[in-house]
Amino acid sequence: MDSRRILNKKIPDSTVRRLSHYLRSLEGFEGEGGTVSSEELAARGQTTAAQVRKDLSHFGSFGKRGLGYRVEELRERLGTILGVDRTWRVALVGAGRIGLALFEYPALRSRGYECVAIFDSDLEKVGCLWGDLPIRGPEEFESTLSELDVELVILAIPAAGAQDMAARAVEVGVKGILNFAPIRLNLPPAVSVEDVNLVMELEALSFSITQKEQEG
């Protein structure tokens, strides 16, 4: 069965996260050429074997009962499903500290996310080089994204300018946005958005701790 078949159902976010974990686990197995059981994948992903089988069943049939999954085949198919069997051309908007941390994060390039352009509105930064890439001003935004066929934008700017830059990116064909700005972007449903909001992560932690204290 083709794991690229059209899916009519929404795959839960939690399933997608676990697929990423399974793929990481399988990379640890690479080169051994053997098989892996749903129990082994479950143990590494801190879930259950039944959950592993259910997660994978969204995408067709994998493996054989009692024989497990062929590591190399499952790794390739998970790569295809997650869209990491190819290179994604990424623009970074915001050359501040978070932008720099992302730019220098080695796992991004090794996973196929290639930063091809950097933008900042600060005139003192425009023209500086990060590696081989010049920091460009916002007036070059649309033309650069088009010329370089950028598909993903990482928004690492304050809330104030984020909606505007996101809308401009979508206008020239950007399909996905990783948003570090602490606002909810209002974009057409065809655009994929993932929010990373550090305050909300900390609030989720303090919520959880507060709840547990009350229960205890």
- Binding residues vs a second copy (CB under 8 A): 4-8, 11, 13, 16-17, 19-21, 23-24, 45-46, 81-84, 88, 96-98, 100-102, 104-105, 107-108, 111, 113, 151-152, 175-178, 182, 184, 186, 190, 192-194, 196-212, 214-216
Q: What totals of helices (H) and strands (E) does the chain contain, helices first? A: 9, 9
Distance CA 198, CA 187 (A): 21
Q: Whose Cβ is closer to a second copy: residue 148's or residue 202's?
A: 202
Least separation in angstroms between residue 82's CB and a second copy is 5
* DSSP strand pairing (133-136 vs 129-130): antiparallel
In whole angstroms, the minimum distance from the beta carbon of 149 to a second copy comes to 14
Please say which residue, 67 or 149, places its beta carbon nearer to a second copy. Answer: 149
Q: Which is nearer to a second copy, 96 or 137 (CB)?
A: 96
Torsion of CA 18, 23, 27, 32, to 10 degrees: 100
Nearest distance in Å: CB 64, a second copy:
26
**178 backbone φψ class: left, alpha, beta (φ>0; ψ -120 to 50):** beta
As measured in angstroms, the least distance from the Cβ of 192 to a second copy is: 4
In the complex, what is the shortest distance from the CB of residue 216 to a second copy, in angstroms, rounded to a whole number?
8
Which of 127, 161, 120 is closest to 141 using CA atoms?
A: 120
User: In sequence order, what are the residues at sequence separation of 6 or more whose Cβ sits closer than 8 angstroms to the Cβ of residue 155?
Assistant: 93, 94, 162, 165, 166, 177, 178, 179, 180, 181
Cβ-based nearer residue to a second copy, 64 or 184: 184
Cα(73)–Cα(25) distance, integer angstroms: 14
Residue 111 or 140 with smaller CB distance to a second copy: 111
Q: How far is the CB of 74 from a second copy (least distance, A)?
A: 16
Tell the residue number behind the tokens 């993932």, with chain if given.
Answer: 194
